[in-house]
Structure 1
Amino acid sequence: IGQDITTFINTTLSEGHLHEALNNGLISLLLKGRMALNIKNYCPIIVLTTTYRLMAKVLANQFQLILPTCIRSIRTRFVKEQYILDNMLLAQESID
């Protein structure tokens, strides 16, 4: 099955669009509390296909390799081993 999924993901990436089957998901409502009478007590959750989740993981891993070269060093969000708190400390030190 690994070869089939690899072929499917490579085909999807080379074509540049998602196959219709990947856009399908199962929506379910989970009860957050004990009172089922109010819609606010439910939390919607979407279960996606395994192939979609695998492809998302492949893309995320690829982006991790190139994001540090695309994002300036002062930016810290979404860059591994950099923390958004660093910017807050830098701003505070600048004010002081």
Structure 2
Amino acid sequence: MKVSDGSLFVQDRFEYGLADKQNAIEKSLEDAETVANKNDVFINFASTKGSLPVGHSYFFAKKMNERFLQSELEDKYFGRLIFDYATSAVASKVIETNF
């Protein structure tokens, strides 16, 4: 898919457990950080329902948001980060990382 002479990359692995989801996000963030074409767009969904047949999105969102808040992100391009049940702390960290 082309986006303004670039490519669109979407990470939306919503049936992963917490560790696998974290790894998928980190891989996508690393890819965005090293991209040569600044017209490329990266979208990362932090949401997951887990790998169980029945998962509750709020539980997983809370855990993923906690992991995001504990991560040390440098002020670099990471693309779009999309969270379920984002708190004001998550929003603040996204803003601080981008500016």
State the TM-score, normalizing by the size of structure 2: 0.28
Bigger CA radius of gyration: 1
Determine which structure has greater relative contact order: mean sequence separation of CA pairs < 8 Å that are 6+ residues apart, divided by chain length. Answer: 2
- Greater helix share, 1 or 2? 1
State the TM-score, normalizing by the size of structure 1: 0.29
